[in-house]
Amino acid sequence: MKPEFAERELPTQVVADWDDVWTACWAAGPRVEMTVAHGEHVDETTQFVELVSTRDEVCILRARRDPVPAGTQRGSALDRGESVTIYLEFELGRFGDPAREWAFLTDLVDRLEDLRGVGAAPIRWDAR
């Protein structure tokens, strides 16, 4: 018997490239019938991506990373946000939907891992 989605642990962090969060949302969204509506970098450590579902639900992804340590060389991989820990929070609509939240975050993490350290990567989805 399959475990309920609510019982599955939500992926809440990933080691990935900071500048790939937006593009990973574009890839993962359609898998759960969502599209990106808006995204912004609040500051150097926080990104928001707003998605809209086919049910007109507003979904918000908050991605955070730790600040770049003082003394980090400008232009270094760490300064550019390559292979950093990214903390993820996702809210789907007013009341949530554990199955779709799990599916979106799982696909988002998979895509971010595929993009880590490369400029581009083919989209290959595993069966859920």
Residue 73 has pLDDT above 90, yes or no: no
Strand-by-strand arrangement of the 84-92 sheet: 13-16, 84-92, 58-65, 46-53, 34-43
Residue 30 has pLDDT above 80, yes or no: yes
Residue 51 has pLDDT above 60, yes or no: yes
| Residue extents of the structural domains in the chain | 11-115
Predicted local confidence at residue 128, as pLDDT:
65
Predicted local confidence at residue 52, as pLDDT:
96
Residue 84 has pLDDT above 80, yes or no: yes
3-state secondary structure of 103: helix
Predicted local confidence at residue 1, as pLDDT:
35
Residue 71 has pLDDT above 90, yes or no: no
Angle, alpha carbons 75-84-13 (nearest 5°): 155
Domain 11-115 CATH assignment equals 3.10.420: no
- Which percentage of the chain shows pLDDT scores above 70? 94
Task: Please give the backbone phi and psi of residue 119, each rounded to the nearest 5 degrees, phi first.
Answer: -80, -30
pTM for this entry: 0.86
Name the band, by pLDDT with cuts 50, 70 and 90, for residue 94. confident
